[in-house]
Amino acid sequence: MKPRPTLVVLALAGVLLGAVAAVVHVRVLNDPGGSSPQSLLPILVVAAALCVVGLTLRRHPTVAWLATVAALTIATVDLASMARASRSSMDAEAWRWLSVALCVGAVFATGAAVAYAADPRRRIGPWVMILGAIAIAAVVGAGAWALARASAVFADPAGTELFPLGTLSLVTRAFLVSVVGFVALGLVGDGRPAARRARRRVAVRFPAPVTARQRAAYVRAWVEAFADELAPGRTRARRAVLSERSRLARDLHAEVVPAVRRALAEAERDGSAERLSTALRDVLLEVDALVQSQHAIQLEIGGLVPALEWLAERAEDRSGVQVTIDVLDGTPAGPRPTRGDTEGGERPPSEVAAAAFRIAGLALENVVRHAPGAHVRIDAIVRRDRVDLGISDDGPGISVEAARAAESAGRRGLVDMDAEAAACGGALAVESAAAGSGTSIRFNWPA
CB 316 within 8 Å of CB 368: no
CA dihedral 158, 164, 167, 170 (to 10 degrees): 170
pLDDT digits (tens, 9 = 90+) for 249-294: 666 666 666 667 767 776 767 666 776 777 777 777 667 666 655 5
Question: Mind listing the domains of the chain with CATH numbers?
Answer: 5-199 (no CATH), 235-295 (no CATH), 299-446 (3.30.565.10)
d(C-alpha 367, C-alpha 382), whole Å: 23
Q: What is the per-residue pLDDT for 183? A: 93
Better-predicted residue by pLDDT, 389 or 37: 389
CA dihedral 108, 113, 114, 119 (to 10 degrees): 120
pLDDT digits (tens, 9 = 90+) for 40-60: 778 888 888 888 888 888 777
Mean pLDDT of 9-17: 80
Does residue 1 surpass a pLDDT of 50? no
Calculate the average pLDDT of the chain: 76
Report if pTM > 0.75. Answer: no
CB 58 within 8 Å of CB 1: yes
Does residue 224 surpass a pLDDT of 60? yes
Q: pLDDT category, 125, cuts 50, 70, 90?
A: confident
CB 380 within 8 Å of CB 304: yes
Q: What is the per-residue pLDDT for 133? A: 93
Better-predicted residue by pLDDT, 86 or 331: 86
153 burial class (0-12, 13-18, 19+ CB within 10 angstroms)? buried
Q: What is the per-residue pLDDT for 335? A: 42
Q: pLDDT category, 409, cuts 50, 70, 90?
A: low
Better-predicted residue by pLDDT, 338 or 45: 45
pLDDT digits (tens, 9 = 90+) for 357-384: 888 888 888 888 777 788 999 999 988 8
Mean pLDDT of 396-403: 65
160 burial class (0-12, 13-18, 19+ CB within 10 angstroms)? exposed
pLDDT digits (tens, 9 = 90+) for 173-217: 889 999 999 999 999 988 888 888 788 878 777 777 778 888 898
Does residue 162 surpass a pLDDT of 50? no
